[in-house]
Amino acid sequence: MMTRKQLQRLVIEAICIVAISIAVLLVGLWVSNGKANTRLQDYYQSQFSSILAGSYYTQMHSRLVDENEEITSVYLAYDESDSLQGYIIEVNLVTKDSLQLHMYIGISSDGSHLTGISRIADEENPVVISEEDLNSLCSQMIGEQIPVALESQITHEDVETEDQVELGGLNDGIYYAQALQEDSYGYIDYVEIEVEDGMITRVVWDAMNVDPTTENRSDASLSGAYTISGENWATQSYTLCHELLDLQDPDRLAMKSDGTTEIVPGVTCNIRQAVTLMHECISNSRANYDKDRYISDLQSIIIDSTSGIEIESITNDEGLLFFSFSDSELEEGFGDYENVRQASGIEDVDVSQTDDSSIDQENDGINLVGSEDGVISGSEDVLTDSVDGLPSSEIRTLIIDVPASQENCSVISSVNIAYKFLKVYLDWLA
């Protein structure tokens, strides 16, 4: 008969055996997983290293991939320090003739450059393109900015640009306007224009933050703290302001209903706030309501609509007021008025009643407002050129000396499909 001591010993031995077995299983599982991951990474290296170099690759799992019929899978490439190097996007294009083109497209981490292309020759009804033609396309695209187009895909019609329009009624000086409420990032947009001899000669569009320790939006975009798709925000702001100097009239920027424009190359951000503030600055100029008066009156409105706030605490080094009105404060300070000038009792100036002979009579009375399809009313030029649903103004690289055959266009479309997906993904991350 087994004694109590023997039973205890047997139980302890059984526990030890179970523990050792579990440890062996865990070690085996770890080794097995390690080998499986090594095999997977070896496979990824064999498939992706020529498209986008990386120390290791991971597959993206996102509903954006699942919901896109033309995107089969997306992989992320990292270097040894775990820094993202870019994306490999698996595109499965089906043409109108039901032909297939299956490709891996490599794109840089900021979504701006093509790093490589590889065809996956497993299609049932493949697009027939020779290796020579594919190499010719790749040699002109790899390392270049995207999206891309064949030169023969773009209609080269010179859009006639109207002469610079003098708006009329502008008083010389410096004029300013700012948003009354912060955006979702805490930024308050502002625009400043300078008028000389009745013409706009300087434009600044930037944004300060309600947190005074946060950089202006332009500086933050240059340092990488504020990111958007395409060019950095500071560059896009500068480009838009320069375009206004050429056009003089914010309406001629042809802002669409979604707040974007197709006529200013490189500007993909929402310009609605900028256009609104540009119009306000122009109205201020016509009323001879300069920047100093604007700032002074805004200070008074803030004091009257708030309780006990010290102006010094909301004034930055440039003398601007980083104050965002709440809805109730906005109602208290402005009522039915739309801006600082109107709330201060300065009425709009009716330009149509002026006798200024410098006004361009040819353009007087024309309503130059951008519509959804990029039309500038009053002009016969319609910006309908597009490649793969992208406006021609967004195309960054033109491929020359390659015919616009269905095969070549299919390769171009695959690259642009990857670009459009990544643009949406990066915007979604932001």
Per-residue pLDDT tens digits for 242-281: 999 989 999 999 888 888 888 888 899 999 999 999 999 9
Higher pLDDT, 49 or 335: 49
Helix (H, G, I), strand (E, B) or coil at 279: helix
Model's pTM, two decimal places?
Answer: 0.49
In this model, does residue 121 exceed pLDDT 60?
Answer: yes
Edge-first strand listing for the sheet containing 100-108:
56-59, 71-78, 84-94, 100-108, 114-119
- Please compute, for residue 141, the number of CA atoms within 13 A of its CA located in the half-sphere on the CB side: 32
- DSSP code string of 229-256: SSS-HHHHHHHHHHHHHHH--GGGG---
Beta-bridge mates of residue 94: 100
- pLDDT winner (highest mean) among 19-33, 201-215, 323-337: 201-215
| Owner of token pair 């130059």 | 368
CATH classification code of 173-384: 3.90.1010.20
What residue segments make up the domains of the chain, in order of their start? 56-157+390-429, 173-384
Give me the chain's average pLDDT, please.
84
Q: Dihedral, CA atoms, 138, 142, 144, 150, nearest 10 degrees?
A: 10
Q: Mean pLDDT lowest for which of 74-78, 139-143, 396-400?
A: 396-400
Better pLDDT: 112 or 358: 112
| Residues with Cβ within 8 Å of residue 116, at least 6 apart in sequence | 50, 51, 52, 104, 105, 106, 138, 142
pLDDT of 21 higher than 90: no
Sheet holding 173-178, edge to edge: 173-178, 187-196, 199-209
CB-neighbour burial class of residue 241 (10 A; exposed 0-12, middle 13-18, buried 19+): buried
Which of 4-8, 20-24, 366-370 shows the highest mean pLDDT? 20-24
Instruction: Note whether 253 and 244 are within 8 A (CB).
Output: yes
Looking at residue 181, its pLDDT comes to 94
